[in-house]
Amino acid sequence: MDQLNNYLFISAILFSLGVFGVMTRRNGIAVLMGVELILNSANLNFVAFSRFGGMNLDGHIFGLIVIVLAAAEAAVALAIVINIYNNLNTINVDEASTMKE
């Protein structure tokens, strides 16, 4: 059980780092990297529960699906960032507020 706590602990740190990155970075790419950290913390949880929590292979499968999703999400998100750059000449997410009233 100790081992599971360790994994969860690491996962929590990773998650917090990700949230911190998403909340503080102005650079769009950095925000995406924060999102990746959050996703991977979740992956770590899945795998840990799979190993120690009796979920058998279900957790592994979920981990794989999340990786695939993350890849797809990264592709779409990077495309958005490139478009923002093309239109606004910056990737600072604070500048992308033209839809504000």
Partner 1 sequence: MENSFILYSLLILFLPLLAFVIQIFFGKRLPREGDWVSIGAISITLILAITMFVKMLLVGDPEFKHEASIVWLDMGAFTISLGFLVDNITIIMLLIVALISTCTHIFSTEYLKGDIRYSRYFGYLGLFTFSMNGIVLANNLMSMYMFWELVGVSSYLLIGHWFEKDSAADASKKAFLTNRVGDIGFFIGIMLIYSAVGSFAFTDVFDGVASGMIAGTTLTFAGVGLFMGAMGKSSQFPLHIWLPDAMEGPTPVSALMHAATMVAAGVYLTVRIFPILTPDALLVVAYVGGFTALFAASIAITQTDIKKVLAYSTVSQLGYMILAVGTGVYTAAFFHLLTHAMFKANLFYGSGSVIHSMHHALHEKHDHETDPQDMHNMGGFKDKMPITYWSMLISTMAIAGVPLFSGFLSKDAILAGTLSFAQHHPEHLLLPLFGFGAALMTAFYMFRMIFLTFHGEPKMPELIDDIHESPKEMTGPIVLLGTLSVYIWYTLPNNLSPMSSYGWFNPKLDNHNFKGGLVHPIDSSVPGSISALEIAEHAHHAHHMAMYISIAVAAIGIFLSWFIYIKKGLSVNALAERAGFLYRWSFNKYYFDENYNKYLYQPTLRLADKVSWLDWELYDKYFINGFGRLTNWASKVTGKFDFDVIDQLLVDGTGKIANLIGRKFKGVQTGKLQNYVLYVAAGVIILMVIQSF
Summarize as ranges the residues that interact with partner 1 (CB under 8 A). Answer: 19, 22-24, 26, 31, 93-94, 96-97, 99-101
CB 31 within 8 A of CB 22: yes
* Residue placing its CB nearer to partner 1 in the complex, 28 or 63: 28
For the bound state, the minimum distance from the C-beta of residue 16 to partner 1, rounded and expressed in Å, comes to 10
Alpha helices in the chain (DSSP H): 2-24, 28-52, 58-88
For the bound state, the minimum distance from the C-beta of residue 94 to partner 1, rounded and expressed in Å, comes to 5
Q: Considering just the CA atoms, what is the radius of gyration of the chain in Å?
A: 17
For the bound state, the minimum distance from the C-beta of residue 51 to partner 1, rounded and expressed in Å, comes to 25
* Residue placing its CB nearer to partner 1 in the complex, 31 or 70: 31
Between helix 28-52 and helix 58-88 the angle, nearest 10°, is 180
* Residue placing its CB nearer to partner 1 in the complex, 23 or 57: 23
